[in-house]
Chains A and B, each alone.
Chain A
Amino acid sequence: MTLTPDDWEVIRLSLKVAIVGVMLTLPIAFALAYILARGRFPGRILLDAIVHLPLVLPPVVTGWMLLILFGRSGPIGGWLDRVFGVTLMFRWTGAALAAAVMALPLMVRAMRLSIEAVDRRLEGAARSLGAGRWRAFRTITLPLSLPGVWAGLVLGFARSLGEFGATISFVSNIPGQTRTLPIAIYTALQVPGGESVVLRLALVSVVLSLGALVASEWLVRRQSGRAHVL
């Protein structure tokens, strides 16, 4: 079995969309995880609910909401278009945004658990040794919560690779721009005689997903060997 140039295009696009989507989400997810783990403020429960919304909403609804907000005449999309000349509609960048939004709740959950598991008394010890808030965060909280950051990255990457509903309703199905692996498989299923394409791309999906799982297992093991949490 050999992959055709079209298959490679789909794979390259899927990886690009997933990697950019996850990298875009990483700092936002960590900040949200930190706020939700440590913050005590009114509206925390509401923020928590909003973050989790893409996990429980039908993906098609999430995609439609992205369309409303980020479409060319939407409040955010219109602004991006006017100020930066950037449009997300029917572009791979829009697919990356959809992947990012869908990956966000999973990434926040993994990171939040890990931040909550950090013993706050260790931060107190760091402060009493002369470290300011920022240094205590950078040298104690952040390294001790890294296993959750890795787990969140892998979960988010896997979720992004599999993203279908929000992507297809937000940025449609355009070869080379928004036709990622699941959408390409779906498209091939609609075409008579597309079974061989489906088989190849399905196998690629299995290999990529397995690879992500093995990589995460390896990272977590390496991490826990070095930085055992008590």
Chain B
Amino acid sequence: MSFEVDVARRLGDAEIAVSFASEAGVIALFGPSGSGKSSILNMIAGLLTPDRGRIAVGGEILFDAKVNLPPEARHAGYVFQDGRLFPHLKVRANLLYGAAGGDATITLKEVVDLLGLGALLGRWPRTLSGGEAQRVAIGRALLSNPRFLLLDEPLASLDRARADEIMTMIERVRDALKLPILYVSHNRAEVDRLAGQVVAIHR
């Protein structure tokens, strides 16, 4: 089992309740905008506390009635929809923000090669295009030595060619690093191409 999620949380008038379990590989959460997909990722990452339920990844309990690990102890590689790069740090410092010391499974050089970031290292985030920023965000998540990846609509703000390029990167990451990946999207074609398993979220 990689992801085991069974949580509920009330946000304003909406009740978000979801339950799924996945095998290794990519599992996709698929549903329309506003159906609470990002909130589910935030709960798994520890940025939003569920009202009740249980979250485990790879057998480790992240949240249940007794346990509630803080985000920094969950080892999530979270790639946000808007990249969310730190505006006051250059690309290199953004990439290394979460980088662990000696026991890293992947080095800066490997990430730079994998995602084609060599020319961007000295740039400020505000000078990057949407696709470049998204690649840096993926690299930053990988370098934080994650045990699993959460990808929130990583292609949403990109044109077709860029989206295709990032999709190829994600496939490469999936095959090279063998991390469990939870992929959120409202685009059926992306989901079908990447994921072995799909969870549909309704409003």
Interface residues of A (CB under 8 A from B): 121-122, 124-132, 139-140, 143-144, 226-230
Q: Cβ of B144 and Cβ of A129 under 8 Å apart?
A: yes
Q: Contacts A121-B84, A144-B88, A230-B87 given; indicate if A129 touches B97 (C-beta within 8 A).
A: yes
Q: Which residues of B contact A228 (CB under 8 A)?
A: 87-88, 124, 126
Assess whether A227 is in contact with B88, with CB atoms less than 8 Å apart. yes
Q: Tell me whether A125 and B88 are in contact in the complex, defined as CB-CB below 8 angstroms, given that A130-B75, A131-B98, A230-B126 are known contacts.
A: no
In the docked arrangement, what's the CA distance between A226 and B90, Å? 10
In the complex, A58 Cα to B145 Cα: how many Å?
58
Q: Give the distance in Å from the alpha carbon of A121 to the alpha carbon of B87 in the complex.
A: 12
User: How many Å from the CB of A125 to the closest CB on chain B?
Assistant: 4
The answer to whether A124 and B71 touch across the interface, beta carbons within 8 angstroms, is yes
A-B pairs under 8 A by CB, number: 62
Measured in the bound complex, the distance between the Cα atoms of B145 and A224 in whole Å is: 32
Measured CB to CB, the nearest residue on chain B to A125 is B84
Which applies to chain A's interface (DSSP): helix, strand, loop or mixed?
Answer: helix
B89-128 interface code vs A (CB 8 A; 1 in, 0 out)? 0000000011010000000000000000000000010100
10 contacts between A and B (CB under 8 A): A125-B84, A125-B86, A128-B45, A128-B144, A130-B98, A130-B100, A130-B145, A132-B70, A143-B88, A144-B87
Point out the residues of chain B lying under 8 angstroms from A226, CB to CB: 88
* Chain A CB within 8 A of B80 CB: yes
**Complex Cα–Cα for A139 and B72 (A):** 15
Q: CB distance B97 to A131 under 8 Å?
A: yes
Q: Does B14 sit within 8 A of A, measured CB to CB? A: no
Give min CB distance, A131 to chain B, whole Å.
Answer: 6
Give the contacting residue for B72; candidates A132, A144, A230; CB below 8 A.
A132
With a CB–CB cut-off of 8 A, which chain B residues contact A140? 86
Q: B76 near A: Cβ within 8 Å?
A: yes
Chain B positions 59-85 with a Cβ under 8 Å from a chain A Cβ: 70-72, 74-76, 78, 80, 84
The 7 closest A-B pairs by CB, nearest first: A129-B98, A227-B88, A127-B71, A128-B78, A125-B84, A124-B47, A129-B144
* B96 CB to nearest A CB, Å: 10
Against A, the Cβ 8 Å flags (1 = close, 0 = not) of B24-68 are 000000000000000000100111000000000000000000000
Q: Which residues of chain B are within 8 angstroms of A139 by Cβ–Cβ distance? A: 97
Interface residues of B in 119-146 (CB under 8 A from A): 124, 126, 140-141, 144-145
Distance between Cα atoms of A145 and B76 in the complex (Å): 27
Which B residues are CB-close (under 8 A) to A124?
Answer: 42, 45, 47, 71
Nearest Cβ in chain A — how far from B151, in angstroms?
13
| B72–A121 CB distance below 8 A | no
Cα-based distance from A227 to B126 in the complex (angstroms): 10
Cβ of A121 and Cβ of B100 under 8 Å apart? no
When distances are taken between beta carbons in the complex, the residues of chain B under 8 Å from A130 are: 72, 75, 98, 100, 144-145
